[in-house]
């Protein structure tokens, strides 16, 4: 048997901590002298104390330890939860670290500062949708106004704020036979026509987005940047890219004032 002072020295734990564990019922003395009140601990209590210390060092609080320490199955379950929690924190920290590194590289001129990626949620929306095989990107300038006429015939009302975007369904860049879905967010469903269909597009929980200002002819540079950024930051692409048109030929006379947001669904898994 060891008096509390010696037991604390042996295990490098303060007597105040041992008294606190006693009060909580986590580690009660093996014997308390009824006349002096001295606490005595035995060698067989050391494994339990070590377990408490180990769990604390892993980040568990005393309430959690108190609930599970006498049940090996519950300890194992708690360890699973903590492992998953720490893995998430590590992944988040690594992701933040990579963002810091990439941003510093751009500040130093090692990478372009033209684009500043952000990660955000894309809302679920009802859209008027027209999917076509375009022979060139220039074809959009003619197809989209025709789509607007079809929507007008159906009585479609565009959502506010406006959200119009293209979804590219090809798994590679193509100069012709481009499989594209032209979407315009609307307030409600309308009757489908031969060309325009009305449907719900689900929310995208996480998408990396960059804003490109200027002609569509220069979007190649933006795509090169965003795909490299996704790779550098160890994300995984889980959906087709979108181009959201914020300003364009319909409200800006000069191409240099056109604003397009590229949106690519991603995951960390």
- Residue 183 near residue 166, CB atoms below 8 Å: yes
Tell me the pLDDT of the chain averaged across its residues. 88
Take residue 142 and report the two structure tokens written for it.
């003619």
Q: Which residue has the higher pLDDT, 206 or 93?
A: 206
Q: What is the predicted pLDDT for the residue at 110?
A: 53
C-beta contacts of 213-219 below 8 A and 24+ residues apart: 213/256, 213/257, 213/258, 213/259, 213/260, 214/255, 214/256, 214/258, 215/255, 215/256, 215/258, 216/137, 216/258, 216/260, 219/243, 219/260, 219/262
Q: Give the model's pLDDT for residue 219.
A: 86
Q: Which of 221, 212, 216 is nearest to 249 (CA)?
A: 216
Helices (H), the chain: 4-11, 15-24, 46-57, 62-68, 72-107, 140-154, 219-232
CATH class of 2-70: mainly alpha
Structure tokens at 263: 């949106």
Q: What is the pTM of this model?
A: 0.60
- What does the block give as tokens for 201? 């597009």
**Do the strands 197-201 and 125-134 form a parallel or antiparallel pair, or are they unpaired?**
antiparallel
Domain ranges, ordered by start, for the chain:
2-70, 118-267
pLDDT at 250: 84
Per-residue pLDDT tens over the stretch 157-202: 999 988 999 999 988 777 788 999 999 999 999 999 999 999 999 9
* DSSP track, 66-97: HHHTT-HHHHHHHHHHHHHHHHHHHHHHHHHH
Element (DSSP H or E) covering residue 266: strand 259-267
Q: What is the pLDDT of residues 104-138, one digit of tens each?
A: 766 776 555 578 899 999 999 999 999 999 988 88
Query: What is the average per-residue pLDDT within 29-51?
Result: 89
CATH 3.40.50.1100 fits 118-267, yes or no: no
């Amino acid at each position: 048997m060891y008096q509390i002072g010696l037991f604390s020295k042996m295990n490098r734990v303060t007597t105040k901590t041992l008294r606190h564990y006693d009060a909580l019922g986590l580690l009660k003395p093996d014997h308390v002298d009824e006349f002096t009140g001295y606490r005595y601990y035995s060698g067989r209590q050391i494994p339990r104390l070590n377990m408490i210390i180990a769990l604390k060092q892993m980040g568990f609080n005393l309430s959690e330890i108190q609930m599970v320490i006498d049940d090996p199955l519950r300890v194992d379950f708690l360890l699973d939860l903590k492992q998953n929690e720490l893995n998430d924190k590590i992944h988040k920290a690594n992701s933040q670290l990579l963002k810091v590194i990439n941003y510093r590289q751009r500040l130093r001129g090692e990478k372009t500062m033209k684009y500043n990626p952000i990660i955000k949620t894309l809302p679920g929306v009802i859209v008027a949708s027209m999917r076509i095989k375009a022979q060139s990107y220039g074809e959009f300038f003619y197809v989209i106004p025709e789509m607007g006429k079809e929507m007008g015939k159906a009585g479609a009302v565009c959502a506010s704020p406006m959200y119009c975007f293209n979804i590219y369904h090809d798994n590679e860049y193509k100069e012709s036979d481009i499989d594209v879905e032209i979407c315009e967010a609307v307030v409600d469903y309308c009757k489908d026509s031969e060309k325009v269909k009305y449907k719900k597009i689900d929310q995208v929980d996480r998408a990396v987005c960059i804003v490109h200002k200027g002609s569509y002819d220069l979007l190649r540079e933006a795509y090169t940047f965003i795909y490299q950024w996704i790779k550098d930051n160890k994300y995984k692409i889980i959906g087709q890219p979108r181009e959201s048109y914020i300003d364009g030929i319909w409200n800006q006379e000069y191409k240099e004032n056109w604003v397009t947001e590229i949106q690519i669904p991603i995951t960390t898994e």
